[in-house]
Amino acid sequence: MTGLLGTAYRDLSDLLSALTDEEGWQPTGCAGWTPVDLGFHLLGDARRALVALATPAAEPADTDAVSYWTAWRPPSAGDDEQLWSTRIAASTQGGLAAVAERYAETAAAVVVSAGRVGAADRVRTQGRVLTVADLLSTLVVEAAVHHLDLVAHLDRPGPADEPLAEVRRVLEGLAGGPLPPRWDDVTAARRGTGRERLDASDRMGLGPVAARFPLFG
């Protein structure tokens, strides 16, 4: 899983570093956020990962790579305030280049730190305990989904196949079975997280499972 995280984080770092100033003000797949805002959010996630990897837990794991996402539902009352606060904080970071540089160095440190602990070791994050392998899966999923968000309105490469496959694996775990075979992994990621709406044929094919969508937001 460390190699998979390295791929996801490297691709995100390369993307953020390659974006022009003009692209930094374009919309993303996260409504109301530009790449600067989303990059700052991703920087915060990488910093949280560093803390988690250095926070061992003695208790048994109470969360895994799939159940972790049951807490992250579509936006609800009060979320707009959090989105707005992220925009304000991001605006003080010195622009896209500064955010991209900090993200690159932090993401690289996360990958190194992940390689120094055991996959079965337990760590704590956000009040939950999970194995390092499961933590790294959550980080890969977050990175891949937000990579898709970053390129939603840009002519830039999306995430690699392997991180997208991990997103699909987690979504299928949440759904309790396979997603429609006609969906490629990008479609599965976007529809499974509510970034694209299900159409009538999707709902027919999914049956009762359609009521669970989006599987996480």
Query: For residue range 160-194, what is the model confidence (pLDDT) as tens digits?
Result: 999 999 999 999 999 999 999 999 999 999 999 99
Please report which helix (H) or strand (E) contains residue 123, including its range: strand 122-125
Q: What's the pTM? A: 0.91
Distance set, CA 73 to CA 53, 92, 103, 212 (Å) = 25, 28, 26, 11
Give the three-class secondary structure for 20. Answer: coil
Q: Is 194 exposed, middle or buried (0-12, 13-18, 19+ CB in 10 A)?
A: middle
Q: Tally the C-alpha atoms within 13 A of residue 48's C-alpha that lie toward its C-beta.
A: 16
Provide the pLDDT for residue 188: 98
Cis geometry, peptide bond prior to residue 27 (ω within 30 degrees of 0): no
Give the pLDDT confidence score for residue 77 in this predicted structure: 44
Low-confidence ranges of the chain (pLDDT < 50): 77-78
Residue 56, pLDDT score: 98
For position 95, what pLDDT does the model report?
Answer: 77
